[in-house]
A and B are shown apart, each in its own frame.
Chain A
Amino acid sequence: MTTREDEWAALLRAAIAGDGRAYARFLHAVSPVLRGIVRARGSSLPPDHHEDIVQEVLIAIHAKRQTWDSAAPLLPWLYAITRYKIVDAFRRRGNRVHLPIEDFAESLETAIDDPTVAHDSEYLLGQLDPRSAGIVRAISLEGETAGAVGKRLGISEGAVRVALHRAMKRMAVHVRRDER
């Protein structure tokens, strides 16, 4: 079992026992993994459908969270639910998708390298100014495009990308500082 799996398993265990904060942290932590898989496999679908599918998977995890045997490893359970719902969501949109377990493992690795996942994302976002936090949340957690965020904030797409880059750098600094 990986450290990541241990951490997520502890969160979900606490969540099943009724800890809403642990549950929110768990769902926030798995969201980028799901998003990565959906983006990687869903190039044939319009980007606005991607977040819908991520949300469908999150709802399925929520609805079936009691089926996880807390004495068993978490990742095979999470992978099975994710795979089932993503394949189902793509099929309902008229697309077929093959989702090998390697895809899941790769997305997981990516997520571990992502500072928004490696630490409590809400805590890290709290270290940023509200505008930067809003940009990171919109793009990295919600899956919005830089163009859409720029339009909403009244700035150019390039300025959004620069702000995102700087914010991510600042978050990475916090992660390293916390690890020491």
Chain B
Amino acid sequence: MKTHELIDRLSAETALPALHPRSIGLQIVTVVGVVSALFLLIAGPRDELMQAMSKPVVLTKTVLPAVLCLVALALALRLTRPERDARVLPLLLPLGAATGLWIWSYASQPPAQRFADVSVPALAECMGLILLLSALPAALALRWLSRGATTSPRISGALVGLAVAAGVATGYSLFCVQDNPLFFVTWYGAAIVIVAGLCALAGGRVLRW
């Protein structure tokens, strides 16, 4: 086909609604919120949630993934415009805080208590549920993000995976009774990294254009 024929064909197509990254962000937050709410409705939040949340460490278990979710989501949405470059530096804030909390917790606990909570059922429950609950929101988020035009599909995929898994971990933290930072930072973190890695791989295909 000649180029002028192609242009004639392309220009005959009707108008397309403009991209609104914020509405994509709202859709992603909504689906993560709905999945987390359904989970909490079925499994129920932990006993005496409000009392537990008055402890800074327990509150951190919820706030830290929530901050990570919002930062990663903002960075992923930024990349829906092709002229925007990939930035990951703002992630250092929640990641640095998580690392600091882990180190502080390791240093302040007696050796016998550090990993006392680690057991196969606890790990399977924590990681398994975060991975499972992230599956649908991650798939939808990648699909919605493909309306944009990222020039870094893998980074976009990883960021949206990070946002979704961290968002799900925020909801899951209201159910989880493991309040040892060495447990939740490590295993929430591992689950979030797995989802981010899978979304990076998927992003390389789904977000390519």
Contact = CB atoms under 8 A, between A and B. Distances in A.
Interface of A: 15-18, 20-21, 23-24, 27-28, 31, 51, 54-55, 58-60, 62-67, 69-70, 72, 76-77, 79-81, 83-84, 137, 141-143
B104 interface: no
Q: Which among A27, A59, A70, A76 has the greatest number of chain B C-beta atoms within 10 A?
A: A27
B83 A76 contact: yes
Nearest to B82: A80
B89 to A, nearest CB: 20
B8 A24 contact: yes
A70 B82 contact: no
A141 to B, nearest CB: 6
A80 B3 contact: no
Contacts of A141: 3-4
Contact of B3 (A15, A58, A84): A58
B50 interface: no
Interface in B1-30: 1-4, 6-8, 10-19
- Chain B: number of interface residues, binned into ranges: 20 to 34
B209 A60 contact: yes
Tell me the interface secondary structure of chain B in the complex: loop
Given A84-B82, A143-B3, A23 B148 contact: no
Contacts of A60: 209
A67 B82 contact: yes
25 contacts: A16-B15, A18-B14, A20-B11, A27-B7, A27-B11, A28-B7, A31-B3, A51-B3, A54-B3, A55-B3, A59-B6, A60-B209, A63-B209, A64-B149, A66-B16, A66-B147, A67-B149, A69-B18, A77-B82, A80-B82, A83-B151, A84-B82, A84-B151, A137-B4, A142-B3
B3 A67 contact: no
A79 B18 CA distance: 19
Interface of B: 1-4, 6-8, 10-19, 80-83, 147-149, 151, 209
B43 to A, nearest CB: 40
A78 to B, nearest CB: 9
Nearest to B81: A67
A66 B17 contact: yes
Contact of B19 (A66, A80, A137): A66
B4 A66 contact: no
Contacts of A18: 14-15
Contacts of A27: 7, 10-11
Tell me which of A15, A23, A66, A81 has the highest count of chain B C-beta atoms within 10 A of its own C-beta: A66
B7 A31 contact: yes
Nearest to A63: B209
B83 A59 contact: no
Contacts of A80: 82-83, 149, 151
Contacts of B82: 64, 67, 77, 80-81, 84
A58 B11 CA distance: 11
B15 A62 contact: no
